Structure 1
Amino acid sequence: MAEPRNRYSTVSLILHWLIAALVVTQVVLIAAHEWTEGPISREFVNIHKSVGLSILVLTLGRLGWRIANPAIPLPDALPRWQKLLARATHVLFYVFLIAMPLVGWAASSAAGREILWFGLFQWPLLPVGGGRETAGALMDLHETAAKLLITLVVLHIIGALKHHFVDRDNVLHRMIPWIPRRP
């Protein structure tokens, strides 16, 4: 019988950390947009749109990879409620990382604002009407989702640190290659 995997695949690790870095980049870009004015502020928004659509594509790729390569089983010693919470958290990450870029894309589309993906090509707009009013409502939803996603990220990090420093299990080892496996 094959020994169970105790670490995520290289593809899973790359996608996890790349998407995480891009989410942090999004927060920095919006902060930079809010701290500046004029053309530079607008450029931060344009980059934010490109990064957001990249997150959408990468998350869809990660979801496909995850379907083809199921998650590593959580430790048997983990209480059932923690296993359920971990699975719910991962599902919520997928929901937010897909829904947020879609809502932002729909807002730009409703307002008729072009999306120039990293200055390379025009990203097609969605067939969404409604003008500024619809775009504003969608942006309100996008911003609320961003706050919820940030909260989810913080809770995810706290949970990972709890596993490492309190439970002293190998859950964090599964996603951070340089952390040695505990016996």
Structure 2
Amino acid sequence: MGETMSTTGHPRYTAVAIALHWLMAALLVGMIFMGWQMEDMREMALAGEMSFAEVQAYYNWHKTIGISLLVLALVRLGWRLTHKVPPLPATMKPWEAIAARATHIAFYAVMIGMPLVGWLTASATNFPSYIANNPALELPHLPVPNEAYEPLGSIHSAGAWVIFALLALHVGAALKHHFVNRDDVLTRMIPFLKFRV
């Protein structure tokens, strides 16, 4: 069984699903800001304000966390497919239910697609994927031509804005459910939050 019951008798996601949800949310947002910092660091390296080794070490950590996110996304997808989730509130309109499902599908596509595109982007460069004494993960280069670096990098960067758009929809809908609809949607994913009546 994938859903559990709260002390008030309302359905709730399992502890594993809740942990994966919040861990991945934090990592996704953190990775976006890390990516933006990487762009600044690259400019600083070109200006001679920091060494290439420092920038590459930061890039390696970005890759390591990105692959960790990919693994977590696949684990989360596997958990979702093999465990029952709480049903949507009966009061939801059909279009709201479709939008909710579409948003969740889009999240899974981005959580899996972004790390893969990042890996392809890194593979399209001639830069080393690993630096000695850096404990980050060493990734093998995939067979991607160097000419693909710019378009792949643009897609990877644009993905950050897709994630922010999905987050805005997701958070906005969750808050609407809690404060306007006064149903149990938000309390399913936040264990300590009280159900509003």
Q: Which runs of 4+ in 1 moved over 6 A?
A: none
Structure 2 spans left out of the alignment, 5+ residues: 6-10, 46-50
CA distance in 1, matches of 2:107, 2:136: 28
| Bigger Rg over Cα | 2
Give the aligned partner of residue 74 of structure 2. 60
Give the TM-score normalised by the residue count of structure 2. Answer: 0.82
8 A contact 1:114–1:125 mirrored in 2? no
Give the aligned partner of residue 168 of structure 2. 154
* Identical positions, percent: 40
Query: 1:168-179 alignment to 2 at 5 Å?
Result: 168-179=182-193
Query: 1:1-150 alignment to 2 at 5 Å?
Result: 5=5, 6-36=11-41, 37-38=44-45, 39=51, 40-116=54-130, 119-126=135-142, 128-131=143-146, 133-150=147-164
CA distance in 2, matches of 1:174, 1:108: 38
Give the TM-score normalised by the residue count of structure 1. Answer: 0.88
CA distance in 2, matches of 1:30, 1:120: 16
8 A contact 1:114–1:122 mirrored in 2? no
User: Matched residue of 2:138: which SS?
Assistant: strand
Residues 86 and 106 of structure 1, relative CA distance in 2, 3 Å threshold: same
Distance apart, 1:42 and its partner CA: 3.9
State the Cα deviation string for residues 25-63 of structure 1 (Å, max 9, x = none).
112212322344234444433222221111111000000
Distance apart, 1:145 and its partner CA: 1.9
User: Matched residue of 1:180: which SS?
Assistant: coil
Structure 1 spans left out of the alignment, 5+ residues: none
CA distance in 1, matches of 2:137, 2:39: 26
Answer with 26-35 or 55-64: which moved more.
26-35
1:181 has 2:181 as partner: no
User: Matched residue of 1:95: which SS?
Assistant: helix
